Amino acid sequence: MKRNKMNSKEEFVDWVNLFNGKMNCYTSVYDFEKYAEDDSVDSSVILDRAFLDFDAHGEPLENAYKDVCNIANILLSDETYFNMYFSGKGFHIIVYGERVYDIRSIQAYFTELVHGANTLDRSGVQVKRLRRIPNTVNLSSSGPYFCIPISFEDLAEGLDYILNKALTGNHQSIRYGSKLKVWPKVAPMNMVDIEVNAPKPPGELPILPCLYNAIMVENPSHHARVYLTLWYRDILTMRERNIPYERQREVVEIIMSEFKAISSREEVWLDWNEAITRKHVWFAVNGGYHAPSCKEKLIPQGLCVGRCWRYCE
């Protein structure tokens, strides 16, 4: 999605008021210390929170409701700072913690939680993650419902009560807890001895563990889709930047075949659009771009799931 930099709270509010109800409105999960002209500088990200997205794709919404109740009770018992939201089709929890400088610490905490919540989005913690802006309309919901802050009182009233409340916006957020989360300590990547096994490819071409984890979800991020395209391009062209037009066409068709195999999986890539995907694949293949390195992009952006054979790059 195209991103717009907001220079003040007033500008942000004006933007939301202008587009709310006309399109789905999102904002960044993380704050940044530095910005380029149109986007944030990834290296300046302030890593102080975990975003938990409970999505009931293909399942009763009741399942996501039960999961968010369980995780919220765990956080409340730990006295950890957190907010809760109904997104219009699922639930969000934002867990606030001490600032760290390695996103893998927050990922480790996420991994602890994900085993106890089946509807928690497995794509995990990513620097570029977006979240729906509270009190804006989720145009893809059946209500349509607003994304609204919710409380323990709302949870106690039940799912039907929350759905009815979400028919309108302008609700105030409640922050629970009194302690910033102390994230788990993780060893530097170059000291990790255990190597993550290569996953079984969803198609014919080999795939990195991080890209498999990021893409085999209901709604992969834009960056995950781009990075996987570039990874496939590098494999098929031996990292050659300039290739003949006919070869470009062959590469595009092979990559599209891989993407079709991925999107054909149940509950994976639900917004798959062949025409739009082909347009972006053509751009990447024709441009001669290379897949990002582990140290410069995949690890800092939170896509890495553990040290694999490619880490030495």
The answer to whether residues 160 and 198 belong to one domain is no
Predicted confidence at residue 13, as pLDDT, reads 95
pLDDT of 84 > 90? The answer is yes
Judged by average pLDDT, the poorest of 56-60, 232-236, 291-295 is: 56-60
Q: How far apart are CA 168 and CA 170, in angstroms?
A: 7
| Average pLDDT for 77-91 | 96
Predicted confidence at residue 1, as pLDDT, reads 60
| pLDDT grade for 191, boundaries at 50, 70 and 90 | confident
| pLDDT grade for 296, boundaries at 50, 70 and 90 | confident
Residue whose C-alpha is closest to residue 86's, from 59, 112, 118, 53: 53
Predicted confidence at residue 252, as pLDDT, reads 97
Residue 277: CB partners within 8 Å, gap ≥ 6?
Answer: 225, 256, 259
Does residue 191 or residue 15 have the better pLDDT?
A: 15
| Residue 17 belongs to some domain of the structure | yes
| pLDDT grade for 195, boundaries at 50, 70 and 90 | confident
The answer to whether residues 254 and 131 belong to one domain is no
Q: Mean pLDDT, the chain, as a whole number?
A: 91
| Residue 98 belongs to some domain of the structure | yes
| Residue 50 belongs to some domain of the structure | yes
The answer to whether residues 237 and 287 belong to one domain is yes
Q: How far apart are CA 304 and CA 313, in angstroms?
A: 13
Residue 257, φ and ψ in degrees, nearest 5: -65, -40
The answer to whether residues 27 and 78 belong to one domain is yes
| Residue 212 belongs to some domain of the structure | yes
Predicted confidence at residue 23, as pLDDT, reads 93
| Residue 184 belongs to some domain of the structure | no
| Residue 74 belongs to some domain of the structure | yes
| Residue 107 belongs to some domain of the structure | yes
pLDDT of 254 > 70? The answer is yes
The answer to whether residues 63 and 208 belong to one domain is no
| Residue 313 belongs to some domain of the structure | no
Q: What is the amino acid identity at position 16?
A: V
Among 96, 130, 165, residue at a domain's last position: 165
Query: Domain range holding 21?
Result: 9-165
Dump pLDDT digits (tens) for 200-226.
999 999 999 889 988 988 778 888 999
Domain total of the chain: 2
| pLDDT grade for 100, boundaries at 50, 70 and 90 | very high
DSSP state of 44: G
The answer to whether residues 13 and 159 belong to one domain is yes
| pLDDT grade for 159, boundaries at 50, 70 and 90 | very high
Residue 166, φ and ψ in degrees, nearest 5: -75, 0
Predicted confidence at residue 126, as pLDDT, reads 85
Among 165, 181, 213, residue at a domain's last position: 165
pTM of the model: 0.79
